[in-house]
Structure 1
C-alpha cells in the first residue's frame, strides 16, 4: 500500500455493518399492513429459515398472497425477495464462521438440577420473546390503548385472566376508562350488548383455548370492537380476526405453560403506554396517590403511619 493509499484508507469513514433482516423487521415506526404483519410474525418465529424458502411457501405459511411477501421485502429496503434471501444467506454464512458455533463441551454426567434446568429454559424463552415479537405489534397495541376515545376491556382464561388483571391494573394507573372482565359466563353475555367501535378488547388466550373467550372476542369483533390478542406460538383462533397479535413462547419442562414470557410482553406494553402518554399519566398517578394517602390505603401513607403511632401510645 502506498502512502497516498494509506491516507485515503485512514481518512475514509468506517464501514458500518449492515442491518440484519431481523433488525429491519424489529425497527420501530415500520408501517406494515395487516397482511404484511402476518408474514413478519412468521419470519420472526422461525428466523432465518422461514425466509429461505420460496415466496409461495412463505405466503402460504403466513396465510397471505405472494404479492404481499414481495411488498414486504421491498418495504424492508431490498430490491425484492431474492435480495432479502441473499441478506439472510450472508447472515447464515457469517454465523457459520463465528467462533460461537464451535462444538460445545461434552455435557456433564451429573444428575440434572430440575430447578436450574427450568430457570434456564424459561430464560431462553424470554430471549426468544426479544427476538421474535414484532416491534410493530407493540406499537399498534400502544396506539389503541392510549386512544382516549376508547374504553379498554381486558379478558383472559382460567390462568391468563391473571395477566389480564395485571395489564388492567397497570392501565388503570395510566389512563381512565379501563375495566377487567372477570365475571360469570352470564356476565360476559351481558357485556356483549354494549360493545362497539369505541371499545378495545385486550384478550389473553393460550392453549387450551377457551370456547367462551374465543366466542366473546368473535362477537366483540363483529360489533366493531378493536381486538388485541396475547397468545402462544400455536395461536388462538382469535388471531384470525385480531388487529394486533402478540405471540409468546410458553413451553418449558413445567407441566404448565409459563406465564413469565407473556408477563414480559404485558410490562413492555405498559412501558410503551406510559411513554406515549407522557405527562398525562403522571398527573393521573399523582391524583390516585393523593386519594390513597387520604384513605391510608398503604402502610407508607403519612396519615396511616401517624395513626399507627397514636394507637401504640394509647
Structure 2
C-alpha cells in the first residue's frame, strides 16, 4: 500500500459505490476526526452501515477496518495542530464523564503497550544501558516529565548520567558535545515529535553512540534510528499528552536496570543512609 492513504482514496474515487463515496469524501475532508472513529461511528456520521465501512477498508486493500484506521493515524501522527487536537478530543469525549473516559483510555494504553512491547527490544535497551560508559537522557516538552523521572533514578545507579534539560538547540548540543562510542543516549519524544530531540539523537549516532528510543511507534523518527526502541502508547489527540503508559514503561526499565546493578544500588543507599544519619537529615527535614 502507498503510504498516503488519501491519495489512494482520491485516485480510486470514480470506482466507489455511492455509499463508499460518502465515506471517501468524509475521510478526505475530515481525516483528523475519521482516524479516531470506530467503524460504527464513521458509518453513522456519513449515514451508511457499519458493514459498508468495513467493506470500504477491504476495497482499499486492508485486512480490516482497524488496519485502515491505523494507516490514517500513522499518516497524521505528526501533523495535528493543537487546535485540531482540542477539536477531536472534544468530539471523542462528547457528553461522557471526563474522569471515566480519560482514566479508562489510559488503562487501555497501558494494556496495549504491555501486549505489543517487544521483550527483545526491552532487554536490548537494558543491556546497552548497563554496559554504557556514559548515559545521556534527552526529552523536551511533555517528555521532560519522563526523562526527569528516569534521570533521578539512574543517578542513584550510575556515576555518569547527564540529563539534557535545555530547550535551546545550541545548548543541547553543548551538553552532548563529548558523546561518543561506548555511550548511550536515551531519547524520549511523542507526537508532535521534537525536531530538537531528533537532531540531537542523529548527532549522537553519528558520533558512534548507541541510541535507545522511548516513543509511541516504530514509524517515529526516533525509533527509525535507534538501536533499541521502547514503544509505549500515547494519546496524540488530546492537547494534553498522555504519558501514563510511557511512564509505566520507564518505571519497568528502571527496575530492570536496578536489578542488574543491584550491588551498586545497594552501595548507593548504604552511603545515603550513612550521610542522612551523620548529618541528621531526618531531623532537619522534620524541623522544616
When normalised by structure 1's length, the TM-score is 0.57
Partners of 1:255 and 1:136 in 2: how far apart? 32
Question: How well do the aligned residues superpose, as a CA RMSD in angstroms?
Answer: 2.6
Aligned length: 197
Partners of 1:185 and 1:253 in 2: how far apart? 26
Do the aligned partners of residues 231 and 253 (structure 1) sit closer, same or farther apart at CA in structure 2, a change above 3 Å counting? closer
- Unaligned residue ranges in structure 1 (runs of 5+): 1-51, 54-60, 62-110
The structure whose RCO (Cα within 8 Å, separation 6+) is larger is 2
Quick one: which of 206, 211, 217 aligns to 2:190?
A: 206
Contact kept, 8 Å, 2:217 with 2:223, in 1: the verdict is: no
Mapping of residues 24-103 of structure 1, within 5 Å: none
Aligned to 2:124: 140
- Name the SS of the counterpart of 2:253 in structure 1: helix
Contact kept, 8 Å, 1:229 with 1:244, in 2: the verdict is: yes
Larger radius of gyration: 1
1:261 shift after superposition = 0.6
1:191 shift after superposition = 3.0
Mapping of residues 220-235 of structure 1, within 5 Å: 220-233=204-217, 235=219
- Name the SS of the counterpart of 2:185 in structure 1: strand
Is 1:129 matched with 2:129? no
Quick one: which of 152, 156, 159 aligns to 2:139?
A: 156
Partners of 1:134 and 1:302 in 2: how far apart? 46
Partners of 1:146 and 1:273 in 2: how far apart? 7
- Unaligned residue ranges in structure 2 (runs of 5+): 1-61, 64-70, 72-94
Do the aligned partners of residues 295 and 185 (structure 1) sit closer, same or farther apart at CA in structure 2, a change above 3 Å counting? farther
Aligned to 2:199: 215
Measured against aligned partners, the alpha-carbon deviations of 1:32-84 in whole angstroms (never above 9, x if no partner) come to xxxxxxxxxxxxxxxxxxxx98xxxxxxx9xxxxxxxxxxxxxxxxxxxxxxx
Partners of 2:133 and 2:139 in 1: how far apart? 19
Quick one: which of 217, 225, 245 aligns to 2:229?
A: 245
Quick one: which of 148, 151, 154 aligns to 1:168?
A: 151
Partners of 2:197 and 2:115 in 1: how far apart? 28
